[in-house]
Structure formats: C-alpha cells, structure tokens
Structure 1
C-alpha cells in the first residue's frame, strides 16, 4: 500500500514540483496540497494523510512547525517532514523530545534527491526521525560528550541511521553484514545509555542524542 502524503507549501511552483517528484516514486501517493497552515490543519482532518511534507516558513501564522504540532495533537501518528531553505538543527529543538518520533527535516535543495526525500517520508511514516544528509555532514561531536566517545565506525553507522537508512541499507553502504550493523547499533545504544524500556524508540533517541551532542563544523 502507498503512503498517503499531503503537501503544505506556499510557493506554488515548488509545490507543483514536489507533486511531480513524488509521483515518480512507487509506494507514495499525494492526496492533497495546500499553501498555508490553517488550510493544512483543516485538510489533515479531512484527508487523514500518513505523512505531511510541510514548509517551515509559510509566510503567515501558523508556521510549519506550529501547524505540524497542532495536527499531531489531533493525530499523533501522522508523520511530518519539515522543509527549510536553511540548514539549522535548532528547528527540531522546537519539537518536544517526547513527541520527536515521526518528525523529519529536509532542506528544500535536497528534494531533487528522490532517495533522500523517500527516506524522509518513509522514516516519518514509521515514527522515526530523519535528518537531511547535508545537515548530518556538517555536524561534529561536541567535546566531552558520549557521542565523542563513539568509534569512527559507530559514528558512521549513527550518521546513516540519522539519514533514515535501515539496517540492510547501512550494511550495503558500509560493506558490512546486517548482523554486524545490528551489533554496532547495540553498542551505540549502550555507549549513549539508551535502553529499550524508554518511552521514545531507541532509534529516535539515538538521533536525538546525535543532534543534542553535535555542533556545526
């Protein structure tokens, strides 16, 4: 079954481009598109999308983050992919950590990369947190954090997790076996003091920790 997507973008040309791009991907279906936050909240009630691709800067109130949070209050399972012109991890800090699963963050320039766009949509639909590849490549561990204590290979695995790669895709990228990737992920969880008993999914918690313990290079 296809993932039902709603687009919220105030620039008509970019909104149309998104619809065309998404139409090329199997398993994704655009069910609606609007240009402002108020219409987004109303249409989300009517269409019940599984994922909303939401521009942060909508040119009015509410902005994309505020509209997304309002929609998630009514439907906590809907995924939100935030779009921005600017690479700034602080945008995601506006989302309460306990509700951070299902939020992805993508730069508008990355939409042309259909693989990155698809990972962001699928990750949000699955309740994960997915970050833009350019943002990930710009981040470095802060000194004296648990993140800094990860090995180079563990860092690579965590960076791919943050970009929405699943375990088989991580294995393919790093030329590892899937079991080896699972072992690395378990070691990352242990190093970052993440347990399965937490209310937040461990994969989401790992990406959150990655964001919090990183700084722009």
Structure 2
C-alpha cells in the first residue's frame, strides 16, 4: 500500500467508520492514512485478531477490514475473527486482505452471507482509488472479490482436490488407505513432522477448519474418494 496513488480531489462519499486489523505496522499506518484521506474514519487500528474482536464488540463499526493471517500463528486468525463477528452481527460488512490465494477461506466467509463481503489480494491493492472504491462497495452491502480469487473459486467449486499439491494428494491417498501418520512417513521416507504439515495443509485447502483432527481426517478422505469416483 505504500505509495498508493490518490487523486488530487477526493470525491464526495458517505463517511463510514472502519475497524482495521493488520499486523504489519507499516502497512497498517499506510491504510489508516489512505482511508482517512478519502474521508472515512478509522475508529480502531490493531495488530491482532483478539484486539479486533474486543474493539468491534465494544463499538461496532460500519465495516471491518482485516488481514487473514495474524499473530500468534499467522495462519487464519484474522479470518476466524471476521467470521465470528459476522455470525454475532449478521450483515456486518467485512473486507478481507490476503497475501495469498486462499479459496477455502473465501468460501467459508461467503457461507456467512455474500452481501457486504470483500476479498482482495494485497498485491493488487496498489491503487488507492480502487481500494477505497472496493471498501465503499462492501460497506454499502455489495460484494467485491479479486479476479484471481473468482477464477480459483470456480475451480474449487468444481473440484477442491485441484488445490492440493502432488505430494499432498499422495499423502491424502495414503490416508484414504487407512494408513497412520507413522505409516505414511515410512512409505514416503519423510519425517513425521513433514507428514503432519502436509495433513494440516490438506485440511486448510479443503476448508476443514473447525472440527477435531479425527473428524477432519474422515472428511478429507471422503472428499478424496468423491474425487476418485468422479474420475
């Protein structure tokens, strides 16, 4: 966002109150300056999902803008917070910024309601006018999704297994055979830590976030078997 282009004259627009969550202090400050420059009010700017939850629950804004990956694990804390807030306050506009194309996270967010939902890749948010136009659209109840996310979402809807790497498909295939993590490690000649990382990535890419590990393992295998039947 540093160096984002802004026009000489900011057009008239409805002023909205923004709650911002971004762990990078430099990017957070840049976003605050940009949003304020366009006539909106940043009522809170925090660096963690927990702080976002606390601030929004204390004083609900007109829109939440949040990064997906935040402390402490930098996995999906921001997304989890956004989904929790949307469930507590149905219709709360949410604009998510992500460094990566993460189709399952978009799918899960859209499942809480498509209206007032935005999902943009950070690399594409380089034009201040375009970014704030997306913020305005989402705050007004519209839906804004990065074009690359749309392409990946369509592919995911057809076949979620397409999101998995060749090694992840291999691990999932062995899971479908009923092999334990230790057996998978021995078969693929990799460490058990690596096996666990592959399985965690499989769960994330298939959108299996909230259930226990055993239940997610079953759901992942069922997804694999459905894909095999389709072939």
Which TM-score tier does this pair reach, normalised by the shorter chain? 0.5 to 0.7
Structure showing greater Rg: 2
Q: TM-score, normalised by structure 2?
A: 0.54
Residue ranges of structure 1 left out of the alignment (5+ in a row): 146-217
Question: After TM superposition, what 4+ stretches of structure 1 lie above 4 angstroms from structure 2?
Answer: 133-136, 138-142
Counterpart among 20, 31, 36 of residue 7 in structure 1: 20
Greater shift in the superposed pair: 56-65 or 15-24: 56-65
In structure 2, relative to structure 1, the CA distance for the partners of 1:70 and 1:130 (3 Å cut) is same
Counterpart among 58, 73, 91 of residue 46 in structure 1: 58
How far, CA to CA, are the matches of 1:96 and 1:131 in structure 2?
Answer: 10
Q: Displacement of 1:59 after TM fit?
A: 2.5
Q: Displacement of 1:46 after TM fit?
A: 2.0
Q: After superposition, what is the alpha-carbon deviation per residue over 1:126-146, rounded to whole angstroms, capped at 9, x for unaligned?
A: 22220125545x66977xx9x
Counterpart among 29, 42, 67 of residue 81 in structure 2: 67
Q: Displacement of 1:88 after TM fit?
A: 3.7
2:49, 2:71 within 8 Å by CA — same for their partners in 1? Answer: no
**2:125 is paired with a residue of what secondary structure?**
helix
Q: Displacement of 1:69 after TM fit?
A: 1.2
Q: TM-score, normalised by structure 1?
A: 0.57
In structure 2, relative to structure 1, the CA distance for the partners of 1:67 and 1:23 (3 Å cut) is same
Which residue matches 1:56?
68
2:87, 2:112 within 8 Å by CA — same for their partners in 1? Answer: no
1:104, 1:131 within 8 Å by CA — same for their partners in 2? Answer: yes
Residue ranges of structure 2 left out of the alignment (5+ in a row): 1-13, 159-231
Which residue matches 2:140?
126
* Greater strand fraction, Structure 1 or Structure 2: 1
Q: Displacement of 1:102 after TM fit?
A: 1.5
The number of equivalent residue pairs is: 141
In structure 2, relative to structure 1, the CA distance for the partners of 1:86 and 1:98 (3 Å cut) is closer
| Cα-Cα RMSD | 2.4
